[in-house]
Structures are given as structure tokens and as C-alpha cells.
């Protein structure tokens, strides 16, 4: 899936970005609209598009090898959920959040994500912690190589994997709904912030707390990670 920027569809994705949809194909036998919805939702969650990026129905249909109808249905559904807006003319755009709207989303995330992570502490296995440690090391390598778009995707996948282990589907659905709206804005997290490795170090402490099955420590560290990252993004929005 390409990264869409400002007014035009840009192909291909930049080389520093691990394309979150590159291996996605639509499988026959289920509703095409639902499958396209899932694919585009994943892209929004992973920050595949910047704020106010134009999503072309025709271009997405061509890339996914489907007709325009299921693509239009999926994008309309996302627009109805607040994850996209209607563009001038054909197509849709990703949401551009102002400071107040982004901060509102962060406040709600602060109530939900630490809870999900704390619940995951009681259910996570040692093997899962080991895999998450590998994922965090991949994050560190991406940052060291200035692959910040890939770093955002790894960071998001890291958090979502932990929340899924809470076994609270409604809670996870609520978190995903917020990240659908915030995903494009999260691309504003600066490379200079990434280079400090603040998030990487938060992840290490999250993993240590998960290994110890310390739910309170996990929740506290997830909250700190979210707080620090959101402050950096708010500083960018203030410019």
C-alpha cells in the first residue's frame, strides 16, 4: 500500500517504510467489502498514510484487484466511523486532527490502553514475551537506520499485540477505533524523538513487567509511553 501524501497519490511507498499492506490480497468466498475494510483499517492503524492524504477508490481497487464497489463501500464505512472524510471530488481523505481533537483521543486512550495491557499481564506466556522482545529489537534497528515510518508500524504492532492478549474484545475494539482516527496524526512523531529511544526504553520496561506478571507496573509503563509520545506529537501540532 502506498503512502498517500497531501493532494496526490504517491507510488511506491518510500524505501524506509515496511509496507503494511504489501502482502495483502482479497480472498474470495467472504464479503469483499469487509475484506477491503479490514485491509484499509490496518493501514490506518499502522500509519500508512499521513494526515489529509487522498485515498483514490480507483487506485485502491486496482491495487487490490477488485472492482470499485467494495472499495467504495469500505471507505464509506470508514468515513461513517470517523476514520476518513469525504474529499473534494471523488475519493476520500484521511483525518487531519487539530490539537484539541488529538488530545481528546489521547485522554481516552490513557483510560483504555493501560487497562488492556495490565489485563494482558495475567495471560501472556513467556514465549509471547520473547517474541515481543524480538519485535522491540527490530524497532531499535529501524530507528538506528532512520527508518521512522517502519518504526511507527513496529511500535503500533507491538502495542496491539499486547492489547489482544487481554482477551477483552470490546476493549480492544474501542482502542482500535481510536487508533483508526489517530493513525495518520501519529506519523507526526518526529525522528528526533525516536532517536532518543524513549519509546524503545519504555517497551523494555513494559516487557520486564510483563515477564514478572506485574499488571500495575505494565499499566503504569504503558501510560508513561503513551504520555511521552503524545507530548512529542502535540509539540509538532503546535508548530
* pLDDT, tens digit, 9 for 90 and up, residues 45-70: 999 999 999 999 999 999 999 999 99
Domains, the chain, with CATH or none: 1-96 (1.10.10.10), 99-237 (1.20.120.530)
pLDDT in tens, 121-137: 999 999 999 999 999 99
Taking the CA of residue 236 as centre, how many other CA atoms within 13 Å lie in the half-sphere pointing to its CB?
17
CA angle 140, 146, 150 (to 5 degrees): 70
pLDDT value at residue 163: 98
What string of DSSP letters covers 151-212? HHHHHHHHHHHHHHTT--HHHHHHHHHHHHHHHHHHTTS-HHHHHTTHHHHHHHHHHHHHHT
Work out the average pLDDT over 110-117: 98
31/30: higher pLDDT? 31
Q: Which pTM was predicted?
A: 0.84
pLDDT value at residue 86: 87
pLDDT value at residue 26: 58
On whether the CB atoms of residues 9 and 56 are closer than 8 A, the answer is yes
6: left (phi over 0), alpha (psi -120 to 50) or beta: left
Counting residues of the chain whose pLDDT is more than 90, the rounded percentage is 84
Is residue 10 very low, low, confident or very high in pLDDT (cuts 50, 70, 90)?
very low
Amino acid at each position: 500500500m502506498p503512502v498517500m501524501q497531501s493532494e496526490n497519490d504517491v507510488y511506491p511507498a518510500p524505501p524506509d517504510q515496511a509496507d503494511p499492506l504489501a502482502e495483502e490480497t482479497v480472498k474470495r468466498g467472504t464479503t469483499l467489502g469487509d475484506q477491503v475494510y479490514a485491509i484499509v483499517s490496518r493501514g490506518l492503524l499502522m500509519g500508512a498514510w499521513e494526515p489529509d492524504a487522498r485515498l483514490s477508490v480507483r487506485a485502491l481497487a486496482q491495487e487490490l484487484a477488485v472492482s470499485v464497489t467494495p472499495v467504495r463501500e469500505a471507505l464509506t464505512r470508514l468515513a461513517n466511523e470517523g476514520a476518513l472524510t469525504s474529499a473534494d471530488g471523488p475519493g476520500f481523505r484521511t483525518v487531519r486532527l487539530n490539537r484539541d481533537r488529538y488530545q481528546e483521543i489521547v485522554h481516552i486512550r490513557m483510560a483504555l490502553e493501560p487497562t488492556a495491557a495490565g489485563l494482558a499481564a495475567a495471560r501472556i506466556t513467556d514465549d509471547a514475551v520473547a517474541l515481543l522482545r524480538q519485535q522491540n529489537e527490530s524497532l531499535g534497528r529501524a530507528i538506528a537506520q532512520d527508518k521512522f515510518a517502519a518504526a511507527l508500524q513496529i511500535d503500533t504492532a507491538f502495542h496491539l499485540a499486547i492489547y489482544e492478549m487481554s482477551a477483552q474484545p470490546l476493549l480492544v475494539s474501542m482502542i482500535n477505533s481510536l487508533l483508526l482516527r489517530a493513525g495518520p496524526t501519529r506519523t507526526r512523531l518526529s525522528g528526533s524523538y525516536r532517536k532518543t529511544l524513549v519509546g524503545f526504553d519504555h517497551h523494555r520496561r513494559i516487557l520486564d513487567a510483563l515477564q514478572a506478571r506485574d499488571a500495575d507496573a505494565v499499566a503504569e509503563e504503558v501510560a508513561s509511553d503513551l504520555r511521552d509520545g503524545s507530548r512529542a506529537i502535540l509539540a509538532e501540532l503546535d508548530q
